[in-house]
Amino acid sequence: MSNDRTTVAVHGATGYAARELLTILLRHPGAEIVALTTRRDDAPHVADVHPALRGRLDLRCENLSPAELAERAEVVFLCTPHGASMAVVPELLAAGAKVIDLSADYRLNDPAVYAEWYKLEHTDAARLPDTVYGLPELFRDVIPAASLVANPGCYTSASILALAPLLAGGWIEPSGIIVDAKSGASGAGRNPKLGTLFSEVNESLAAYAVGDHRHQPEIEQALAGVAGAAVDVLFTPHLVPMDRGILATIYATPANLAGTERLLDVMRAFYADSPFVRVLDGLPGTKATTGTNFCDLTVRTAKGRVVVLAALDNLVKGAAGVAVQNFNLITGRPETTGFPEAGG
């Protein structure tokens, strides 16, 4: 499968993550985009939906069934909202397609936790416990064999990548972790809402869903596996007046007396073989990651705390980029294929 082009489809192709995904796939030497979908019935041309793609991709967004999708494409990316993904995954898999789901439907292993946080009974609950969580930096050993990959959330990727090295090595306590995260507005999606109008977001900064955001249990679940113990995270997201980018500022209790330099070494060693993680001496900023699949990290000790900082582009490393990393892994390609920023 790795020598020729793999046929791919994007289900739910009208949002920001889908546009980013198409941009990456268009430059990918091993992907051939063969189908796009939308719930709309007027089959809009992708260039009318995403003007940046005019002249680059000549496809319409059709209202296709899972069977039609699976017939056309070997790999289907789901850019649908939660709830909509689980409605098509069983049929796609049954028809032999591989699926990379960018929604939250298959991220949580426990259907009860899903129901609690998403206020929705999971209709494909049996599949949850074994679905692979598609964060390649932690799970690149098991992703290649998967036919369904649950692509992680944007906030969660930043938070998990920041904390995993320190929890894995026992450098910080697994309880009492605070993640103060800030995101640009594209993370809120492309459906018109009052709260994401330009005149509302511009010159505005506010927290939302304090201690009550759906990425909180996702972070805790993934990190529990890393730490080998329950992990307790207080997660506070903020909406920042920019289009793209997430910065997570994370506060943890040290488990020993290691200083900044030692912890930087720990992080560098942990990610030595991860081409998309850059551990910095200086402080990361979102702008240095914009349009790339990098996650920039650093760590500091200060006032008896360990402070970890993570920056990434929410649409790339936080969504479409990691999806293509997963695509590379499940199709037997080098993880960096299609990413010029990593020489791929």
Interface positions, 264-303, toward its own copies (CB under 8 A): 278, 280, 282-292, 294, 296, 300, 302-303
Taking contact as CB under 8 A, which single stretch among the options 78-86, 110-118, 157-165, 244-252 is the one that binds its own copies? 244-252
Q: Which is nearer to its own copies, 28 or 107 (CB)?
A: 28
Pairing of strands 98-101, 148-150: parallel
Q: How far apart are CB 229 and its own copies at their closest, in Å?
A: 17
Taking the complex as a whole, how short is the minimal distance between the CB of residue 250 and its own copies, in angstroms?
Answer: 10
Residue with tokens 């999708």: 69
111 Cβ contact partners less than 8 Å away, ≥ 6 residues apart: 121, 122, 125, 128
End-to-end Cα separation, the chain, in angstroms: 18
Residue 317 near residue 289 (C-beta atoms within 8 A):
yes
When binding is defined by CB under 8 A, the residue of 238, 255, 268, 336 that contacts its own copies is 238
Out of 147, 232, 262, 274, point to the residue binding its own copies (CB under 8 A).
Answer: 232
Length of the chain, please? 344
Total of residues contacting its own copies (CB under 8 A): 75
Given the complex with its own copies, which of 10 and 17 has the nearer CB atom? 17
Distance CA 297, CA 312 (A): 9
**In the complex with its own copies, which residue's Cβ is closer, 99 or 319?**
319
Name the residue among 9, 13, 6 with its Cα closest to residue 31: 6
How far apart CA 306 and CA 144 sit, in angstroms, is 34
Q: What is the DSSP letter of 82?
A: T
Whether the CA torsion 112, 186, 184, 160 is positive or negative: it is positive
Of residues 150-189, those binding its own copies (CB under 8 A): 176, 178, 180, 182, 184-186
Q: Provide the minimum distance between the beta carbon of 318 and its own copies in the complex, in angstroms, as a whole number.
A: 13
Instruction: Tell me if 305 contacts its own copies by CB under 8 A.
Output: yes
Would you give the DSSP letter of residue 172? B
Binding mask of the shown chain, residues 191 to 220, with x at each position contacting its own copies by CB under 8 A: -xxx-xxxxxxxxxxxxx-xxx--------
Q: Which is nearer to its own copies, 147 or 301 (CB)?
A: 301
For 86-114, letters b (16+ CB in 10 Å) and e give: bebbbebbeeebbbbbbbbbbbbbebebb
**Residue list 15-74, contact with its own copies (CB under 8 A):** 16, 26-27, 51-52, 54-56
Asked if residues 176 and 187 have their Cβ atoms less than 8 Å apart, the reply is no
Using the minimum distance from each CB to its own copies, give the nearer residue, 127 or 238.
238
Q: At its nearest, how many Å lie between its own copies and the CB of residue 296?
A: 8
Give min distance, CB of 216 to its own copies, in A.
9
Nearer CB in complex with its own copies: 1/207: 207
CB-nearer residue toward its own copies: 147 or 253: 253
Q: Nearest-CA neighbor of 209 among 312, 117, 84, 113?
A: 117
What the block records as the tokens of 37 is: 């979908």
Which of the stretches 75-83, 151-159, 232-240, 327-335 binds its own copies when contact is defined by CB under 8 A? 232-240
* Cβ 285 to its own copies shortest distance, Å: 3
Asked about 295 being catalytic, the answer comes back as: no
Give backbone dihedrals phi and psi of 12, rounded to 5 degrees, phi first: 85, 70
Least spacing, CB of residue 287 vs its own copies, in Å: 4
How buried is residue 327: exposed, middle or buried, by Cβ count under 10 Å (0-12/13-18/19+)? Answer: buried
Residues classed as catalytic: 154
